[in-house]
Structure 1
């Protein structure tokens, strides 16, 4: 089921979102100082391509630099990306068929709001909880 949802997502929303995030990542990498933001954009682009079957987790080794970077990201890009994902999610949820895709947009909000210090992991398998040791 994840594959079917991912393919439909790719056609209706994922390709364009991933393309925009990848272009933003290229611009950030060209500007040298913003390379960490570029890497985060590429990570979000991959997540935007295939959101079903993946989830975002907080990295345990993220430090003060990630926190400061997230504040900068929040001011310049995070708010606007979050508003865009929220509005797209609401628009998709207005139709019964679009509800899973609206929920996928809502899943993208935390990583688009504060991407540094986050990691995309599969929802199943041994790597689903990489930082938890039982």
Structure 2
């Protein structure tokens, strides 16, 4: 079932969200100081391609720098990526078939806003 959901997700919104995160990762990797944000954006880009069957959890070793980094991330790229998830969720919620995908988009908004201090794990 997860594979089917992921394939439908990829076609309906996953690919476009992946492109947004990949662009953010590329822009962030231009400067040396913003590479950690680029790595986080790439990690979420891959997650946005195939989200069903994986969860986002807090990283136990995250410290105070994650908080500062997340504030910078929201200003630089997080708000428009979160907006992309919200717009996609609204568009998908119009149909009954799209409602689970709209819910998945809404669940990805927090990680789009604060990606540092999070890790993506396989669901068991």
Q: TM-score, normalized by length of structure 1?
A: 0.86
Number of equivalenced pairs = 124
Structure 2 distance, partners of 1:40, 1:7, is 23
Q: Counterpart of 2:32 in 1: which secondary structure?
A: coil
* CA deviation after TM superposition for structure 1 residue 42, in Å: 0.5
* CA deviation after TM superposition for structure 1 residue 79, in Å: 2.3
Q: Could you tell me which residue of structure 2 aligns to residue 60 of structure 1?
A: 60
- Deviates further, 87-96 or 48-57: 87-96
Q: Counterpart of 2:56 in 1: which secondary structure?
A: strand
Q: Deviations for 1:55-102, whole angstroms, at most 9, x for unmatched residues?
A: 111111001111100011122222222222122212211210101110
Query: CA RMSD, aligned part only?
Result: 1.2
Q: Counterpart of 2:17 in 1: which secondary structure?
A: helix
Of structures 1 and 2, the one scoring higher in RCO (CA 8 A, sep 6+) is 2
Structure 2 distance, partners of 1:5, 1:121, is 18
Q: Which segments of 5 or more consecutive residues in structure 2 lack a partner in the other structure?
A: none
Q: Which segments of 5 or more consecutive residues in structure 1 lack a partner in the other structure?
A: 125-134
Structure 2 distance, partners of 1:53, 1:33, is 33
Higher helix share: 2
Q: Could you tell me which residue of structure 1 aligns to residue 45 of structure 2?
A: 45
Higher-Rg structure is 1
Q: TM-score, normalized by length of structure 2?
A: 0.93
Structure 1 distance, partners of 2:83, 2:26, is 22
Structure 1 distance, partners of 2:76, 2:18, is 19
Residue 2 to residue 45, structure 1, CA distance change in 2 (3 Å): same
